[in-house]
Amino acid sequence: MTNRHNPLPLTRDNTAVVFVDNQVGLMTGIRDYSIADLKHNIVGLAKSAKVLGLPIVTTTTSSETLWGPAIPELTGVLPDQTFIDRTTVNAWDDPRVEEAIRATGRNKLIFAGLSLEVCAALPAMRAVREGFEAYVAVDASGTFNMTKRETALVRLTQAGVVVADGASLVIEILADNASNQAGEVYNALGMDWSLLVSQVRQSA
């Protein structure tokens, strides 16, 4: 039996990933992660989602007037992806975004956005209200100070959104290290320690 406190596992067949407003202008204000670490986590989530064949939805907000284009590291990983540019604060409030999310046919949604407390949190909470199971990859969702980070985590939890790191969510979807995709997933995540273990095993 499943409920919001003990949901069924994430799988390749039930999960989609939504990247919200990973934009150059917003990235300059991030203070809870180093920019290098945050970009690493965003790119790792995107690369591993592609390896696993997960549907991906991407958005920006007012890219030509406010926050600039999506970060080149993300567009480089998703060169054929359409970034839905909108003006609404909550991405879900734009009908094109909602339609794109629903069109994935998946009931579990992983959100990653800048900022955590608005761009990731608001559509994730709306997703829960709409009957989806929502997850936020916190380490791929930076924000502007620690107060915003701490209060966002509390609010998300109160709203029934699962908060986790992106790698843990991806590895749950991978499910089996014997999978022929395992090495590609770990490489996509760029987890230094796992790469070291792989090198040690190859040299043994």
Cα distance between residue 111 and residue 28, in whole Å: 20
Sign of CA dihedral 155, 5, 48, 104: negative
List Cα–Cα distances, 166 to 7, 17, 42, 47, 66, in angstroms: 17, 10, 8, 11, 27
Q: Which of 42, 52, 109, 119 is catalytic?
A: 119
Q: Helices 182-189 and 192-203: crossing angle, nearest 10°? A: 140
Is 179 catalytic? The answer is no
Residue with tokens 């991405």: 91
Just list the catalytic residues. Answer: 119
